Chain A
Amino acid sequence: DAGVIQSPRHEVTEMGQEVTLRCKPISGHDYLFWYRQTMMRGLELLIYFNNNVPIDDSGMPEDRFSAKMPNASFSTLKIQPSEPRDSAVYFCASSFSGTHGYTFGSGTRLTVV
């Protein structure tokens, strides 16, 4: 298995632009999580899905952020419009309810200038 695959690895965009981050979870995993990591705030859970259904989006900072999971093998996190304070590393992770721990992707480093 190739693990959790995130794209792009790096994204530099101008303030006000729309940004879409992508994630392919491990096949067979029924949970998918989106995290944001910054020096100031550490690792923050933004939203998670179970069987493609959003369960808890209380960590989504504001309406500019949205996430979808149209099927079991794909999820997106969209920021529109982007702001410099959104600059961070965004991680996707997946897990199977019968096993322990998450498998994390390598992350997307987002820089908004």
Chain B
Amino acid sequence: GEDVEQSLFLSVREGDSSVINCTYTDSSSTYLYWYKQEPGAGLQLLTYIFSNMDMKQDQRLTVLLNKKDKHLSLRIADTQTGDSAIYFCAERGAGGGNKLTFGTGTQLKVEL
């Protein structure tokens, strides 16, 4: 079945850039997503990218996709303490059904 993997933890200083990485196995993925989960809350959609794109920018967020290597990354510019959260990547296969496969989540800690 599909598999999505992420590193578990990332620590950065406030003002630096954060890069969260994700790898996936499903070569038929059509869309890839980044979600943010703050403590005690559900997951919130941050951004998504179509599989035939290699980059998408949305304000402080930049998504890079290397489809050949099945590697997705999320760069957060000028990271703030409010960015501290768990970040999940997810992929949507070509099989339809709106079903997403989520990664394990990366805990981002922003230090002063």
Interface residues, chain A, with chain B CB atoms under 8 Å away:
4, 31, 42-43, 45, 48, 50, 55-56, 91, 93, 95, 97, 100-107
Contact = CB atoms under 8 A, between A and B. Distances in A.
A91 B33 contact: no
Contacts of B101: 45
B97 A100 contact: no
Contacts of B105: 42-43
B109 to A, nearest CB: 16
Given A42-B102, A45-B99, A56-B99, A101 B42 contact: no
Nearest to A103: B45
The interface residues of chain A, by DSSP majority, are classed as strand
B99 A100 contact: no
Nearest to A30: B98
Contacts of B43: 43, 91, 93, 102, 104
Contact of A106 (B31, B35, B42, B99): B42
B64 interface: no
A104 B90 CA distance: 14
Contacts of A93: 42-43
A55 B42 contact: no
A56 B31 contact: no
A56 B31 CA distance: 20
A106 B41 contact: yes
A2 B106 CA distance: 28
B45 A91 contact: no
30 contacts: A4-B42, A31-B97, A31-B98, A42-B105, A43-B43, A43-B105, A45-B99, A45-B101, A48-B98, A50-B98, A56-B97, A93-B42, A95-B98, A97-B98, A100-B31, A100-B33, A100-B45, A100-B48, A101-B35, A101-B45, A102-B43, A102-B45, A102-B98, A102-B100, A103-B45, A104-B43, A104-B44, A105-B42, A106-B42, A107-B41
